Each structure stands twice: as C-alpha cells, then as structure tokens.
Amino acid sequence: MSRIKTLQELFKRYRRPGDIVFAILFCFFSFFLLSQLEFQTKWVARTKLYAQPSFWPAVSILGMTIFSVLHYIGSLCSPRIAGRWTEVWFWLRSAEYVLYFLIYVALVPWLGYLPSTMSFALFLALRVGYRSRQAILSAVAFGMGVAIIFRAFLQVKIPSGELYNHLPDAVRAFALTYL
Amino acid sequence: MEQLLSGFIILAQWEVLIALLIGSVGGVIIGAIPGVGAPVAIAILLPATFSFEPIVGLTLLLGIYGSSMYGGSIPAILINTPGTAVNALTTYDGYPMTKRGQGHRALSLAYSASFFGGIFSILCLIILSPVLAWIAPHFGSREIFLAALMGIILVVLAHRGQVLAAGMLACFGVFLSTVGLEPVKYTKRFTFDQTWLGSGIDLIVVVLGLFAISQALLLLIDKEHAPKSTHVEGNLFSGLKELFGIKRVATAASSLGVLMGMIPGVGEFTAQFLSYTYAQKSSKDPDKFGNGSPEGLVASEAANNAVPGAAMIPLLALGVPGEALTAMMLSVFYVHNVIPGPQLFDTKLDFVFALYMALLLLNIFVMIFLLFSTNWLLKIIQIPTRFLGVMIIILSFVGVYSLRNSMTDCMLAAGFGVFGLILKRLNLPVVPIILGMVLGGIMETKFRTAMARVKNPLDFIDRPIAAILFVMILVILVAHVRTVMQEHQMNKQNHDDPDDHVGPETSTQQG
C-alpha cells in the first residue's frame, strides 16, 4: 500500500482544468499511431534495423505512447481543479476564429489580397467587440498597411485576385502587380 | 584577418544594415508588447526572409531575437507585466523600484545590464571562434547525433514539473519530422494515402501554428486587457555608471548566460534562475531581492541577454539548434543552402564573422534607440489584447500562405494553432515539439550514417568527443533521477511534519 502511495506521490503534479481530457485524447492518438505503424511504414528486406524506414517513426511513437500513458497517470494522481468542461468549451470556441481565418484564406485568390485583408480586419474588429470609429479605422488601416508592405514592397508570393481582372485597364496592371 | 575584413564587407551592404536596423527596432517594439514576443514575430517573418540573401534574412531575424528582451523589460519594470516570458524575473525587482519612484533608474540599469550581457556573449563568441573552428571538424555523424540527443534530453528535463508532457511532445515533434516520403528508400511514412502529406509537414507551418496562430486565438477569445499608461522621467544614461558598481554580478550573470546559452535545450530561464540565485546568495543585502534590488535586476537582465549570442554556438558550429528561435533560423540557412555545422567554419568563416559583427552592432543600435524612445514605446504597448489578436492572425496568413499558396498549409497551421492554444491553456510546453521536429530529422540522418561504420555498439563511442558526450548524457540523466528522488524525500518529510506542510501545487516530483 505504501509503495502505491509513494508511486502516486512521485507522479503528482500541478494539474490545470481540462488536463485529463487532453491526457486521454493524446493517449488515444498515440495508441492510434502505434496501431498504424505496420500499415503506414514499410519494412524493407535486406536492410538493417537502424536503416529501416519504420525505425524512427517506431521510436518516436513508442516514446509518445509511453510518455502519454505516464502523463495520464500523473493526471489521475494529481489534485483536480474544477472547471474541466468550461475549459474544453474555451478550446472549442477557437473553432469559430479558425473558420473565419479559413474563409479569409479561401477569399484571397478571388477578391485579392488587399480587399480581403481590409475586410477581414474590419470584420474581426467588429466581431471581438470594437465599435468606436478609432478602432474600426485602425483595423482597416492595419489591414491595408500589411497588404501594401508585404505584396507591394516585399513582393511576397501571394496570388493576385480574380476580381482584379474585371478592373478598368488603367488600374488592372497595377492591382495585379501590387495589390 | 582577411576573413574578418571579408566579413566586414558582407555586413557593410546597405540591405544588411537596413535589415539589422529594422530587426533591432522591430524586436524592441515586439518585445515591449506583452503577448507577442520574438517567437511569434520570427515565425511570421520567416517565409518573407526566404526571398532575401541569407545574410539579410538572418540579420533581420537575429535583430528581432537579440533585441526583444531589451524591449520586454520595459513593461516588466513599469507595469509589472513582462513583455516576453523571459522578462518575468525582471518584475521581481524592477516593479518594486518603480513603485518607489525609481522607474527610470530601474530601466536604465536594465538596459545597461542587457547591453553588458549582449556584448559579453558576443565577445565570448569571438574569442571562442578559433576553438570552435578547431573543434567543429572533429564532430562526425555520431558526435552530432549525440549532441542532438543531448539537446532533446536537456529540453525535456529543463521543463521541471512537466517532464512527462515535455517528453511526450518532443517525441511528437520527432514523429512529425518522419511524416512523408522517406529520403533513402523512398517509401511513404504515415501519409494515409493523402498526397498533401507526401512532402511531409513543413516546420514553418507548425511553428506558425504553434506560436503565432495559437497566440492570436488566445488573445481573441480571452478577456480584453490593455496595459495601463505610464511615463518615465529622468536620465536613462545613469545606469551605465551604476552598473560599474555591480560589475561582479553583471559578469557572473553574463557568464552563466553564455554557458547556459551554449548548451542545447537550456536557455534563458535556467540562466536567469542560476544567476539570480548566485546574486542573492553572494549579496550583502539578500533580503532586498524581490523587493527592488538593483543586483537582482542586473542578474536577471544580463543573463537573459547573454543567451542569444551564445545560442548561436551550437547552431553555427554543429548545426544543432538549442531552442525554438535558433531552430527557426536553421530553416533560413537550409533554404539558402548554407549548411551550418563543422564545414561552415572552413568554407564560410567570413559569413560567420559577419554574423558576429551584426550581433555586436544590433546591441549598439538597440541601446541608442532605447535611450531616446522609451516614452514613445510606452504608448505603443497600450494596444488592447484583442486588437493584437486581430493583428497577429492577419500577419500569420502572410507567413503560412506565402510559403506555397496552399490552403492545406493554412488548414494545417490553423490545426496546430488550436493545439498550441490547448497547450498554452494547460501550461504545457510548445518548444519540445519544435526541437523534436528539427533535432529528430538531424538524429535520423546522422544515426543512419554513423551506424553504417559501427560494428559493435561500443564503436559508437570510441572517439574522444563521442565518449565525452555519451558520459555527459549519462551524468545528466543520473543527476536528474537523483534530484527527483531528493525532492521526493524532502516532500515526504514535509508531509510527515504537519507544521511544514507543502501544498499539492508545489509537489512536482516528476520534474
């Protein structure tokens, strides 16, 4: 009994709300990868163990599995702080912003970098609760500044928007190159 | 001498100087804004630097890396909020000094100590160069493998109280480095028949997700907060003079910073902790520490600023990055086909000297900039956190999308962003994933090359440097187990003695 207690003491750590959910999910992920090792890597004949393509994936996944099980045990042994599902809800709330980000990514090749960045900055500023004229103008100006600095000055590799092709001749070439 | 002159010519190009100036000033501003920090800025700018000359790209990133901690001390001292995580210890003595009406003195001392630490580490780097140039060619595949292995072990063990999580995440990083087409037998690994996984998972996508997007998400969802306004009055030059009176602490702290910076996986936190402990133990007035001690402030700032210069040693000499920022810089080297490691000192010594001089110059630029712009910086740092989140997510797009205009990369980066957010909320480390990814790739290649010449396991350590590294790894592991057992015994005694009870929060035996 005292040995079990000693072991428990040895694994005890500071545990934040939601820790056990993460520990279980990571454990499952590690076991899933372990189960796929045979199918997702090849064993090459007449090749030594250290040169096998599956050697390093096996080492890393075994390490992940062992450490994640120990991490889970540590979570079980440590005192709990209330608020597990509130914390999980916090994680899930990030999906909303991820969705906005991906819509923005999808819009850039159509609308063009400058208009989509300005619109995205404005939308996000409104979404997070800014209503003052100063904040809204700052967001739009920031979007414009970023687009101009990176596309016009630094010539970063971002495609021009489909929409630019419908612009009048006088500005089309400029927009395709710099905006 | 000829190489030094050639290095000077490389540095004297206007593009390089402008990159250095932008990096230095930008780094100070980024460091001063709580919630951003050098890793986020470097992650965002990394793909943009690929189109520059290697020296231009590297000086820009070096500028940010080397100067962010200068900036981070400003909010740490004046508003008790560290600009970067490594400035947390600065709040202990900096903020109490501000409360006593000595804000300008604390800032001036912090700038001077940072400057001293920065210059000290570069001088050490220059002095050590001949030794590095001599020793680096002795590092073959097995030595580099052992150094990388030691780096991973150290980065895991450095996360006291989170060793199991750090180990799990470092292994995850190593796993990520193996995904895709394997380079020797050309077989697919963990691609699940998805073409987009065939070329593997790009380090930059992971870095941007874990550092930048996760931080943006965190700031966007969390409660709004804006640093309060403040103003500093007084002569900021006085610290240089005062530093002479505390030169023993400054020298010891800088030496510890250099030492800890050189060891892969250790870095600023350990350097600061050791130097602060040393300064407190050797001080005539130890009770003042934590209540506004100039010695404590100097110990903390000199140590953390000595690390960036020293962290370049394993990167340049062995091609083994010691922490996340140098790991990011490694990708700039690779993109331009400049391979850091033993050959670099043979073939591109002038390039190495140019980097040293860039480090030296950046400290001078930053010091001059700070002495005249502190009050202006105090206005900039008042950006509300959610607005900062908007800014970071917009900038993150440039970083990910400009790599190869891929929607998949953006989705992957967003996925890592959510993962990074969870890790940050749980107070779990992100750095082991990045180091696992970088060092995992190095270890796989070097282990395969080394083993081809090894007949029995002992052959692996039959060369002096390999044997020394192996012994060091053993010593590190044994010392860690010993410390864990000692801490366990101490906690057990505390639990047995109800008058001296230790709460569950402090019992972190597994670290």
pLDDT at B204: 86
**pLDDT band at residue B506 under the 50/70/90 scheme:** very low
pLDDT at B172: 97
Whether residue B500 is predicted with pLDDT greater than 60 in this model: the reply is no
pLDDT at B135: 82
Q: Tell me phi and psi for residue B412, to 5 degrees.
A: -65, -45
Nearest Cα residue in chain B from A44: B185
The answer, for A116 touching chain B at a CB cutoff of 8 Å, is no
Q: From the CA of B410, how many Å to the nearest CA of chain A?
A: 7
pLDDT at B504: 38
Which of the residues B51, B182, B396, B486 would you substitute to probe the A interface, choosing the one with the greatest number of A C-beta atoms within 10 Å? B182
DSSP state of B108: H
**pLDDT band at residue B503 under the 50/70/90 scheme:** very low
Instruction: Compute the average pLDDT of residues B148-161.
Output: 87
The answer, for A142 touching chain B at a CB cutoff of 8 Å, is yes
pLDDT at A4: 65
pLDDT at B350: 85
**How far apart, in whole angstroms, are the C-alpha atoms of residue A77 and residue A11?**
6
Q: Is B492 exposed, middle or buried (0-12, 13-18, 19+ CB in 10 A)?
A: middle
pLDDT at B495: 66
A146 vs B contacts (CB less than 8 Å): 394-395, 398
**How far apart, in whole angstroms, are the C-alpha atoms of residue B377 and residue B320?**
35
Between residues B454 and A62, the one the model is more confident about:
A62
B220 vs A contacts (CB less than 8 Å): 97, 124, 128
Helices (H), B136-213: 141-157, 163-178, 203-207
Please indicate whether, in this complex, the C-beta atoms of A61 and B175 are within 8 angstroms of each other: yes
Q: Which of B496, B330, B511 is nearest to B429 (CA)?
A: B511
**pLDDT band at residue A141 under the 50/70/90 scheme:** very high
**How far apart, in whole angstroms, are the C-alpha atoms of residue B454 and residue A174?**
62
Whether residue B511 is predicted with pLDDT greater than 50 in this model: the reply is no
Sign of the alpha-carbon torsion through B270, B91, B294, B127: positive
Between residues B455 and B248, the one the model is more confident about:
B248
Whether residue B95 is predicted with pLDDT greater than 90 in this model: the reply is no
Between residues B71 and A96, the one the model is more confident about:
A96
Please indicate whether, in this complex, the C-beta atoms of A91 and B421 are within 8 angstroms of each other: yes
Nearest Cα residue in chain B from A77: B504
| Segment among A65-79, B12-26, B47-61 with least mean pLDDT | B47-61
B447 vs A contacts (CB less than 8 Å): 50
Nearest Cα residue in chain B from A151: B398
Q: What is the pLDDT of residues B449-486, one digit of tens each?
A: 998 888 888 888 889 999 999 999 999 999 999 988 88
Which of the residues A86, A99, A124 would you substitute to probe the B interface, choosing the one with the greatest number of B C-beta atoms within 10 Å? A124
Tokens of B197: 């996984």
**For chain B, what percentages of helix, strand and coil (3-state, to nearest 5) are there?**
75, 0, 25
pTM of the entire predicted model: 0.87
Please indicate whether, in this complex, the C-beta atoms of A157 and B405 are within 8 angstroms of each other: yes
Please indicate whether, in this complex, the C-beta atoms of B410 and A120 are within 8 angstroms of each other: no
Which residue in the set A11, A42, A135 is minimally distant from B510, CB to CB?
A11
**How far apart, in whole angstroms, are the C-alpha atoms of residue B487 and residue B479?**
12
**pLDDT band at residue B502 under the 50/70/90 scheme:** very low
Nearest Cα residue in chain B from A63: B171
Please indicate whether, in this complex, the C-beta atoms of B168 and A48 are within 8 angstroms of each other: no
Q: From the CA of A9, how many Å to the nearest CA of chain B?
A: 7
**pLDDT band at residue B227 under the 50/70/90 scheme:** low
pLDDT at A13: 78
B37 three-state secondary structure: helix
pLDDT at B510: 46
**Which positions 53-112 of A are in contact with B (Cβ < 8 Å)?**
53-54, 56-57, 59-61, 63-64, 67-68, 70-71, 74, 78-79, 87, 90-91, 93-95, 97-98, 101-102, 104-106, 108-109
* Chain centroid offset of residue B510 CA: 24
Instruction: Compute the average pLDDT of residues A65-91.
Output: 92
The answer, for A14 touching chain B at a CB cutoff of 8 Å, is yes
* Percentage of chain A lying above the pLDDT 70 cut: 96
Q: From the CA of B399, how many Å to the nearest CA of chain A?
A: 9
pLDDT at A3: 65
Upper half-sphere CA count for residue A74 (Cβ side, 13 Å)? 29
Which of the residues B215, B224, B380, B387 would you substitute to probe the A interface, choosing the one with the greatest number of A C-beta atoms within 10 Å? B387
| Segment among A41-45, B301-305, B465-469, B495-499 with least mean pLDDT | B495-499
Between residues B341 and B388, the one the model is more confident about:
B388
Instruction: Compute the average pLDDT of residues B251-275.
Output: 84
Please indicate whether, in this complex, the C-beta atoms of A13 and B451 are within 8 angstroms of each other: no
Q: Tell me the range of A51-65, B269-283, B355-369, B490-504 where mean pLDDT is highest.
A: A51-65
Element holding B435 (H helix, E strand): helix B431-451
Please indicate whether, in this complex, the C-beta atoms of B492 and A78 are within 8 angstroms of each other: no
ipTM greater than 0.90, yes or no? yes
CB of B355 closer than 8 Å to CB of B316:
yes
* Percentage of chain B lying above the pLDDT 70 cut: 94
Between residues A63 and B8, the one the model is more confident about:
A63
Q: Which of A96, A109, A141 is nearest to B394 (CA)?
A: A141
| Segment among B118-122, B214-218, B246-250, B374-378 with least mean pLDDT | B374-378
Between residues B489 and A125, the one the model is more confident about:
A125
**How far apart, in whole angstroms, are the C-alpha atoms of residue A147 and residue B319?**
35
A101 vs B contacts (CB less than 8 Å): 213, 393, 397, 410, 414
